[in-house]
Chain A
Amino acid sequence: MNHDTDPPMSPQERAVADALAQLPALEPGPELDARIQAQARAALRAKPRARPGSRLRWLNAGLGSAAVAVLAAGIAWQAGLFTLDESTQRAPTTTTSFPKKNGTRGVAPRNRCSTGRACIVQRNRHAAIAGRSGSSRSATCKYGA
Chain B
Amino acid sequence: MHAHPTPASLSSTGADMIEPPTDEDLMLAYAAGDIAAFDTLYARHRAPLYRFIARSLSPRASADECFQETWARVVKARQRYRPDAKFSTWLYQIAQRLMIDQYRRQRPQVSIDDETAPMHLPIDTDAHPERQLSRFEAVRQLQQALAELPVEQRIVVQLRLEQELTLDAIGEITGVGRETVKSRLRYAMDKLRARLQS
Contact = CB atoms under 8 A, between A and B. Distances in A.
A37 B38 contact: yes
A36 B42 contact: yes
Interface stretch (A2-10, A88-96, A111-119): A2-10
A36 B69 CA distance: 9
Given A16-B192, A21-B162, A27-B47, A37 B169 contact: no
Contacts of A2: 166-168
B185 to A, nearest CB: 8
Contacts of B169: 1
A59 interface: no
Contact of B71 (A16, A22, A40): A40
A22 B139 contact: yes
B189 interface: yes
The secondary-structure label for the interface of chain B is: helix
Contacts of B38: 37, 40
Contact of B64 (A19, A23, A32, A43): A32
B94 interface: no
B179 to A, nearest CB: 12
B30 A40 contact: yes
Interface of A: 1-3, 6, 9-10, 12-13, 16-17, 19-29, 32-33, 35-37, 39-41, 43-44
Given A24-B117, A40-B30, A41-B35, A1 B72 contact: no
B133 interface: no
B42 A40 contact: yes
15 contacts: A13-B161, A19-B142, A20-B158, A20-B162, A22-B139, A23-B143, A24-B115, A26-B50, A27-B50, A27-B51, A28-B64, A36-B72, A37-B39, A40-B35, A44-B35
| Interface bracket on B | 35 or more
A9 B161 contact: yes
B189 A12 contact: yes
A9 B160 CA distance: 9
A32 B116 contact: no
Contacts of A37: 38-39, 42
Contacts of A10: 189
